[in-house]
Structure 1
Amino acid sequence: MIQWIEEARRGSAEAQESLVRHFTGMALAVAYDKLQDSHLAEDAVQEAFTEAFANLHKLQDPRRFPGWFKVIVERQCYRDLRRKQLQTFPLHEIELPMGDQRSLESVVEKRELIGQLHATIADLPSGMRIAVQLYYFQGYNLREISQYLDISLPALKKRLFDARRKLKNTLHVADFVSVFTDLYEGGKRMLHIVNGDSVGDKLKQGNIQGDILVWRELYSFGPVYTKMDEPDHRRTRAQYLEQTLGIPQKEYIGTCESQERKLQDFRKYDEVVLWFEHDLFDQTMLAYLLHWFKEQSLGNTRLSLLCIGAYPGIELFRGLGQLSTEQLETLSGTWHAIGDEELMLGSMLWEAYASDLPEKHQRMLEMDSSALPFARDAFEAHLARLPSVSHGLGIIEQTTLEAVAGGIHTPYELFRTVGDRLHTLGMGDLEFWYYLAKMIEGPDSLLVIDGTALFPDFKLAVPHFQERVLQVTSLGHEVLAGKTDYACAATIDKWVGGLQVRGKDPLWRWNPERKSVVRIAEAD
């Protein structure tokens, strides 16, 4: 924003357009609150922008632009109220759009509900009213609204909570958001991109309208690249996933091409909503999609994001897949508009994550990632998968070894335990079986398992696998006791984002105390 303002001061039309796009929704909410007429509000906002750009040189601190511009909008509204009278139009004079086959009764019913909704919002105190309009109707995120209204985030959240409770009691509906969704989203020209088939199926069963695109990828595992759709990169990744997880190359490539074709058609929708959660599995997916959208011309399509890390009543929130259809419905309409800041940050995170340079991965923890509040913890968990300076194990191998040493010996119980302890990774069963298989492999194994060494994968089901018993080897006990550095004793070969860790005594390690990537010379 500061860069836009500085460039707009120098007369940049592009910077002025960026400011207009970003602040129009906020300004319209304030103007409509004063004028109670959408056409007059649009006129007032247009004149307010003209006045603001003419006086940008008077703004001493660019960071104060949101509040400064809000005052200009309010002043323009007061001028309009003094010189204009509001006009109304009879319902029978309003033409229905061509091709709209809805009955007049349904139109009247919808208009009555819209009127009731606006009336109940109008009865809210001013602070609540504008907060509701900016958050639910205009889609701004909490941080942007707090800056614009010059109030703290806790105070803003309290206003929204109180407003939602008041609206629910007044409208006599199960949820204010469901009314908003029905009236203002419609859903017929919306695309919802979700993180898994379970979530996609539940959204289809519920009242979430629009098309569903399940994004099927596992960016948290195997080699990744900045440009994932390049043929050579795709073939390399497909070969790796078949060798490690048993996913057929042809099926993987076909799935990628199919979902990318659907994604390329995003401009036919009015809005695209990304549904994601806090863990690395989702944050890598989110970063990739933001990187992709940043490179596109969005046209008239609006991007929105719903990203959560908790849900009321669920003690350990693992993801959206835990929620019922009814619980997912309560999230409808709570997404916010994705702005340039989120697009830029997501793109930078993806480029760093896909890099083969450890220094770039470290920068993910050093950059300001507040625009995507779950990113830092997720990418810290990503880097913790590197061999530790303490014992040479990554966090997955360490946690697994500790769990077996602590008395958990069967595969499925082990998967649940490790998954709960490392829930920030969002690790699936196929990925975990691969790690477990590597830990019992070769002369330098950390674990031993009774019976055959086969593990389930995408194609293979192993009979009675749940009854198998795992034990810690002597080397495993030595590593846990701090007597042996596993990275020096064994040959490592794994991908951690765009980093390939291979051989003995890898140069780069993870320092859990400093929470940083270090060269092994620095770790000594």
Structure 2
Amino acid sequence: MTSGLNITNGDCAGGGMRAAQIPGEILSWRDVLHEGPVPAGLSLAELSKVRAAFIADQGMGERADIEKSFAERDDALRRFTDNDEVILWFEWDLYDQLQLIQILDFLSQFSREHLAETGTKVSMVSFAGYLGNLSVDAFVPLYDARIEVSAAMMETGRLAWGSFRDPEPRGILELIRGDTSALPFLEGALLRHLEEFPSTRNGLSRSERQLLETVARGPVTFSEAFIRVANREERIFCGDATMAGYLERMSDGDEPLVTYPSGERIKAATNDEDSAAFRNAQLSLTPAGRAVLECDRDWIEMGGSDRWLGGVHLAGREASWRWDADSHALRSPRMAT
């Protein structure tokens, strides 16, 4: 057996762990699971192909390269019992918590008796903050304070991952209204996920609303808007590439909500050459955007956008779920409320 397998969110955290000489292999998960399809009923390998296709379609790499990276990652996870210990290093935000519950769901297939027979221990470092921002000397104390993953943690992760991938999302709400204390950051993370469903007020997700509100206060560039929107989040929610995608989505359709001051539609930069111009260009709220922001019109009724939230496909005007921020409830226009 090797000394251990450390699984974490991405390369920044992994780099800090390497610099701190944390023992064992370091595996970065590298998937923004709160964006794009995460449908139910697929194996780990099948889902990774779906995820690779989505990420490539967003201009974040070549599909073949992403598939290869995910296949190597998945293979390392499947061989986890080759290690005497697997340590899960994850933060408190939605990005990390979704990766954590995906991994816990996979590990939950193996009984504690099986793990005892293989001699593999599963531990966790659950961090209220951002591992990538830590100094090198902060990693060893976290490693020393790791705790063993309990049966309750495994079961909570399994239930949460199943609910997240379900095309009927009210299971997420039922889960967080129950006891998720085994994973103390899960409730807040999944609540933030639910806030991305179209609002019952105007059809905007929380991210879309915050972005439009920032543009409405203009003048503002994309770089400035990104910082201002990010500062309104309780925990880091998304990176600039993801937010650029939101902006492009709201500039599409028959009646864009936001454009450049010239009226030109916004297209997110796809290469370094275009990036500086995109980041420094001013943004402008359209009359339609202002009407939606003031709840005089509804973004979904205007056409909305085609996006996936976990296992739920929100297909423009056909989007079948809304988030009621006042009552913290999911509503379906197709069902009696």
Does the alignment reach a TM-score above 0.5? yes
In the TM superposition, 1:334-373 aligns within 5 A as: 334-373=145-184
Cα distance change of structure 1 residues 480 and 492 upon mapping to structure 2, 3 Å threshold: same
Give yes or no for contact 1:352–1:363 (8 Å, CA) kept in 2.
no
How many residues end up aligned between the 2 structures? 330
Distance 1:336 1:409, change over 3 A: same
RMSD value, Cα: 2.4
Deviation, 1:523, is 8.6
* Cα deviation, residue 472, structure 1: 0.7
**2:127 counterpart of 1:308:** yes
Q: Deviations over 1:165-192 (max 9, x none)?
A: xxxxxxxxxxxxxxxxxxxxxx961221
Tell me how far apart the structure 2 counterparts of residues 306 and 485 of structure 1 sit (CA, whole Å): 43
Q: Which whole-Å CA distance do the structure 1 matches of 2:323 and 2:336 have between them?
A: 9
Give the Å deviation of 1:444: 1.9
Q: Deviations over 1:76-98 (max 9, x none)?
A: xxxxxxxxxxxxxxxxxxxxxxx
Q: Which residue in 2 is equivalent to 1:16?
A: none
The 2-side partners of 1:245 and 1:495 are apart by 17
* 2:262 corresponds to 1:448: no
For residues 450-482 of structure 1, the C-alpha deviation after alignment (integer angstroms, 9 at most, x for no partner) is: 567431247875342221110111011111212
295, 306, 312: which one aligns with 2:109: 295
Q: CA deviation at 1:365?
A: 2.3
**2:271 pairs with 1:466:** no
SS in 2 for 1:362: helix
Distance 1:338-1:230 versus aligned 2 partners, 3 A rule: closer
- The answer to whether residue 325 in structure 2 is matched with residue 512 in structure 1 is yes
Supply the AA of the counterpart residue of 1:224: V
- Distance (Å, rounded) in 1 between the aligned partners of 2:164 and 2:10: 22
Question: Quick one: which of 408, 426, 437 aligns to 2:248?
Answer: 437
Matching of residue 265 in structure 1 with residue 79 in structure 2: yes
Task: Measure the CA separation in 2 of the matches of 1:407 and 1:265.
Answer: 52
CA distance in 1, matches of 2:336, 2:229: 27
The 5 A counterparts of 1:111-260 are 189-226=3-40, 229=43, 233-260=47-74
Instruction: Render the CA deviation track for 1:217-264: whole Å, top value 9, x for unaligned.
Output: 221111113465466544443333222344321112111100111122
Query: Within 1, Cα distance between the matches of 2:156 and 2:271?
Result: 34
Separation (CA, whole Å) in 2 of partners of 1:258 and 1:273: 18
- Secondary structure of the corresponding residue to residue 462 of structure 1: helix
1:323 aligns with 2:130: no
Q: 1:415: Cα distance to partner?
A: 1.5
Any conservation in 2 of the 1:294–1:343 contact (CA below 8 Å)?
Answer: yes
CA distance in 2, matches of 1:203, 1:216: 16
Q: Counterpart in 2 of 1:74?
A: none
Between the aligned partners of 1:408 and 1:189, the Cα distance in structure 2 is 54
Q: Which has the higher helix share?
A: 1
- Give the corresponding residue for 1:495: 308
Cα distance between partner residues in 1 of 2:227 and 2:318: 31
1:404 is aligned to 2:215: yes
Deviation at 1:331, TM superposition (A): 1.8
Q: 1:321 to 1:520 in 2, by over 3 A?
A: same
Deviation at 1:506, TM superposition (A): 2.9
**Residues 399-430 of structure 1: CA distance to partner in whole angstroms, max 9, x if unpaired?**
11111112361112211222222353631222
Secondary structure class of the residue paired with 2:255: coil
Q: Distance in 2 between matches of 1:414 and 1:523?
A: 38
Alpha-carbon distance in 2 for matches of 1:250, 1:505: 32
1:334 positional shift:
1.5
- Give the letter for the 2:18 counterpart: K
Q: Which residue in the other structure is 1:387 paired with?
A: 198
Who is 1:281 aligned against?
A: 95
CA distance in 2, matches of 1:270, 1:437: 47
Shift in CA distance, 435/196, structure 1 to aligned 2, threshold 3 Å: same
Change (3 A) 1:487 1:474: same
Determine the structure 2 residue equivalent to 1:476.
Answer: 289
Write the deviation string for residues 354-389 of structure 1: whole angstroms up to 9, x where unpaired.
Answer: 111123233232231110011011101101101000
| Identical counterparts, % of pairs | 27
Matched-pair contact (CA < 8 Å) for 1:189–1:269: yes
TM (norm. structure 2) is 0.90
Letter in 2 for 1:200: G
Deviation (angstroms), 1:441: 1.5
3-state SS, counterpart of residue 119 of structure 2: coil
Inter-CA distance 522–409: structure 2 relative to 1 (3 Å threshold): farther
Select the structure that is richer in strand.
2
* Residues in 1 aligned to 2:279 and 2:29: alpha-carbon distance in whole angstroms: 30
The 2-side partners of 1:229 and 1:217 are apart by: 16
Provide the C-alpha distance between the structure 2 equivalents of 1:459 and 1:360, rounded to a whole number of angstroms: 41
> Retained in 2: the 8 A contact 1:245–1:431?
no
Inter-partner Cα distance in structure 1 for 2:214 and 2:87: 39
If asked which structure has higher relative contact order (CA below 8 Å, sep 6+), I would say: 2
Matched to 1:516, the amino acid is: A
Structure 1: 5+ residue runs without aligned partners?
A: 1-186, 311-318
Q: TM-score, normalised by structure 1?
A: 0.59
8 A Cα contact 1:357 1:499, kept in partner? yes
Asked if residue 424 in structure 1 is aligned to residue 244 in structure 2, the reply is: no
Classify 1:452/1:225 alpha carbon distance in 2 versus 1 (closer, same or farther; 3 Å): closer
